[in-house]
């Protein structure tokens, strides 16, 4: 069962971050808070980590895994193409609960992209989550078995997924909603999942830039 470390998500203690990053570097999985729900993940670019996450969740092979990044440049490094729409939305809503689906770089593991050639990425609002990404972007799928309710408290995540993770970082309760998910790979943006960022605000931001 995962060891639980308690931390202030907005002002995380260095030793906790160091322990979590050391576990990630070894290829371990981590339960951690984002600015929405509790996530299960590991270093997205490390071989085998995506497979571990899929096994833990029972996730469909054809379903890609979402990522979180430390900042704009790290997020852009995951993408084969960074359109003007992504630049505008990132400037308005990041850090925050808006995930963008973009064309993925060929170097991303297929266990992350699931053969879709796309990647969903965002820069989260919590300082803790961004600091955990200092060694690279993290897989950030909700810490629950596929088809079950997503956890907004660390204890819920540990009860369900603790056997799969080396550590769980408890940063207090999260929100009850997943991030807003917007697909930018086509000619027009598409709302794939409603969330904390309103679709009308997304459209208004893009229209203001046209």
* pLDDT per 10-residue tile (average), the chain, 210 residues: 91 92 97 94 96 92 94 98 97 97 96 96 95 96 92 94 96 86 97 96 88
Q: Which residues contact 198 (CB under 8 A, 6 or more apart)?
A: 180
What dihedral do alpha carbons 180, 159, 24, 44 form, nearest 10°?
Answer: -40
Q: Which residues contact 197 (CB under 8 A, 6 or more apart)?
A: 93, 96, 97, 98, 179, 180
pTM beyond 0.85: the answer is yes
Pairing state between β 30-33 and 38-41? antiparallel
Report the pLDDT value the prediction gives residue 177, as an integer from 0 to 100. 84
Report the pLDDT value the prediction gives residue 27, as an integer from 0 to 100. 97
Report the pLDDT value the prediction gives residue 60, as an integer from 0 to 100. 81
Report the pLDDT value the prediction gives residue 61, as an integer from 0 to 100. 82
């Amino acid at each position: 069962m995962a060891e639980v470390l308690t931390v202030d998500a907005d002002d995380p203690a260095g030793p906790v971050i160091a322990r979590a990053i050391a576990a990630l570097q070894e290829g371990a999985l981590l339960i951690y808070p984002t600015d929405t729900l509790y996530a299960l993940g590991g270093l997205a670019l490390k071989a085998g980590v995506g497979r571990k996450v899929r096994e833990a969740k029972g996730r469909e092979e054809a379903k890609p895994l979402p990522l979180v990044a430390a900042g704009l440049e790290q997020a852009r490094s995951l993408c084969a193409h960074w359109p003007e729409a992504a630049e505008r939305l990132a400037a308005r809503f990041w850090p925050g609960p808006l995930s963008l689906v973009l064309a993925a770089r060929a170097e991303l593991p297929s266990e992350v992209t699931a053969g879709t050639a796309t990647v969903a990425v965002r820069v989260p609002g919590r300082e803790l989550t961004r600091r955990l990404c200092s060694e690279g972007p993290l897989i950030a799928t909700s810490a629950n078995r596929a088809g079950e309710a997503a956890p907004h408290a660390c204890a819920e995540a540990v009860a369900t997924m603790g056997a799969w993770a080396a550590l769980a970082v408890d940063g207090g309760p999260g929100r009850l909603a997943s991030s807003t998910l917007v697909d930018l790979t086509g000619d027009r943006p598409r709302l794939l999942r409603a969330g904390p960022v309103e679709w009308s605000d997304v459209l208004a931001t893009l229209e203001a830039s046209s």
